Structure 1
């Protein structure tokens, strides 16, 4: 499919569009000529950053506000043809310490969005940003879309609920919905204030600052890492494909590496920093799932999607981005 022509002049809403995934998607959609609306809360804990969309700020309609604000959601959704629902509470640990806030954003917020689509944009499609956290500990690897969902934290439970809500609204109200179960992603335009989510990106900051990266335990667990450009291509493919409605797709990289080797690669690429092994904190160990390697062959078959950015090349480009634009991301660390 010619994605440029598909998205030209298409009315698109991105929730969380000032954050990491959303802003990279917005930049690509703008290049294709889409009419973009962004809804973002700019919550200080999360990744919303006006600089993320600075090159296209004059071509984007920005609505600043919370996903749970019904009037703002109605304003954002009316007349849209496609919704990329990316806004979320994304910290595993915070979901355990503040579970009701996670429910408010990831469950109630998603239902309010779906209700608005039903009422004000009944013909619009939805692409939902799911997560590997929905699966939990694996019964087999690589994990395909048929694997059961056994989340180990509140975040995973509520993100899985959001996926199911989307399919309920598809079956009951005709809203075409697709879910991408996104793996560990990295790249430009991520928040660099803390390590509550997006740990690879946070480790880049620690290394660039000459700090110490802590590896819990031995760091042998295998992970897939996807560059944000590959995630963006998956969003675009899911939003355009006739095969995608009603489907779930795993994303992966095809070349998993251990957590320890990921840390070593960051230190080598930045040329600074160090690492140390420390015991697992209980709150982290309780929700650790071990190896996670995804089978993304379904996305390849149906969406013609495969990852293109090799890990080391993506890491080098990411470090170069933050070196050039550090002033816009190196705000005071928060814990």
Structure 2
């Protein structure tokens, strides 16, 4: 059987580096691209153990000559290239826009021109909706994003839909919740759960703003990479957007308590809300993954305690 050729942008990031490992486990021929932008805290450390098994290219998704080189002949393309910090996106909105929106457009143009048969899987964010209206959030919920990152993710989603309608390009958009797992960044700007994990692992305080009663949907990164691979093979999903979320929801305080319990270290420290973060806080969420489940029968495999235990195991084992 011929190996699938897989192209991953943002391959040194959290999701990207886990996706590289998933793709290798699927016996794919992997081309991994990352700009290694210092502001995004991406380094080669996340890829070092698997580097001999992949074709790594230091490059930028906005580089049209690079796209002309790497897009042809690929079977599956995963675009994980993004500036993933909500606060940084507001502080530097043009930079965020060029990566997420211009990068996505140039990739879609390259697929149209050089490889119209490839499948693009785009990991988006559940935060595109902003504050929830109503009890349960599904794909029919309106979009009123509260920060530039979320707004641009929503725009990039729509580029996929337009290129599918106009040029028949095959793309699937998956809106993920708060992902966590090994290779996550030790910085609160890039996701609170991974930051909490690093704090606990170092036996440092876990700061929670307010009482931590706001609800979140947390999903282990292996579940995310699993559905990304499934999406690449399922023609029923092409041209659509789906919430790929966990069926369980937890408060931020519950998440922190579980992390402290699993790692056996760290402590919780309640702090007042910073004004800036309060302004972009989405508060409570309750997502439904029913649409995706209907088309694929997929459900996340790992509970939060199970995912945290695996994260600890891999962090200690040099994953």
| TM-score, length-scaled by structure 2 | 0.95
1:39 and 2:39 equivalent? no
- Checking the alignment, whether the CA contact within 8 Å between 1:95 and 1:153 is kept in structure 2 is yes
Aligned match for 1:116, one of 106, 110, 113: 110
Matched ranges for 1:232-243 at <5 A:
232-243=225-236
Equivalence for 2:42: 48
Please, which runs of 5 or more residues in structure 2 have no aligned partner?
none
Secondary structure of the residue that 1:111 maps to in structure 2?
A: helix
Distance change >3 Å, CA 254–CA 106, structure 1 → 2: same
User: How much has 1:91 moved relative to structure 2?
Assistant: 0.5
Equivalence for 2:62: 68
User: How much has 1:253 moved relative to structure 2?
Assistant: 1.4
Secondary structure of the residue that 1:178 maps to in structure 2?
A: strand
- Checking the alignment, whether the CA contact within 8 Å between 1:46 and 1:191 is kept in structure 2 is no
Give CA-to-partner distance per residue, 1:89-147, whole Å, 9 cap, x none. Answer: 11100111111111111111111111111111111111111101111111123211111
Aligned match for 2:289, one of 293, 296, 309: 296
- Checking the alignment, whether the CA contact within 8 Å between 1:20 and 1:47 is kept in structure 2 is no
Aligned match for 2:252, one of 244, 247, 259: 259
Equivalence for 2:308: 315
User: How much has 1:180 moved relative to structure 2?
Assistant: 0.1
Equivalence for 2:130: 136
Give CA-to-partner distance per residue, 1:230-249, whole Å, 9 cap, x none. Answer: 00111011111010111111
Equivalence for 2:196: 203
User: How much has 1:58 moved relative to structure 2?
Assistant: 2.6
Counterpart CA distance in 2 for 1:253 and 1:197 is 20
1:107 and 2:101 equivalent? yes
User: How much has 1:55 moved relative to structure 2?
Assistant: 4.5
Q: Which moved more, 1:273-282 or 1:41-50?
A: 41-50
Counterpart CA distance in 1 for 2:21 and 2:135 is 34
Aligned match for 1:59, one of 53, 58, 82: 53
Counterpart CA distance in 2 for 1:12 and 1:141 is 39
Equivalence for 2:177: 183
Matched ranges for 1:266-285 at <5 A:
266-285=259-278
Q: How many residues align?
A: 319
User: How much has 1:154 moved relative to structure 2?
Assistant: 0.8
Counterpart CA distance in 2 for 1:63 and 1:216 is 39
1:248 and 2:248 equivalent? no
Secondary structure of the residue that 2:123 maps to in structure 1?
A: strand
- Checking the alignment, whether the CA contact within 8 Å between 1:18 and 1:47 is kept in structure 2 is no
Counterpart CA distance in 2 for 1:87 and 1:293 is 27
Distance change >3 Å, CA 323–CA 34, structure 1 → 2: closer
| TM-score, length-scaled by structure 1 | 0.91
Q: Which moved more, 1:60-69 or 1:220-229?
A: 60-69
Matched ranges for 1:143-158 at <5 A:
143-158=137-152
Counterpart CA distance in 2 for 1:105 and 1:12 is 21
1:9 and 2:37 equivalent? no
Counterpart CA distance in 2 for 1:45 and 1:266 is 27
Counterpart CA distance in 1 for 2:76 and 2:39 is 27
Structural RMSD (CA): 1.6
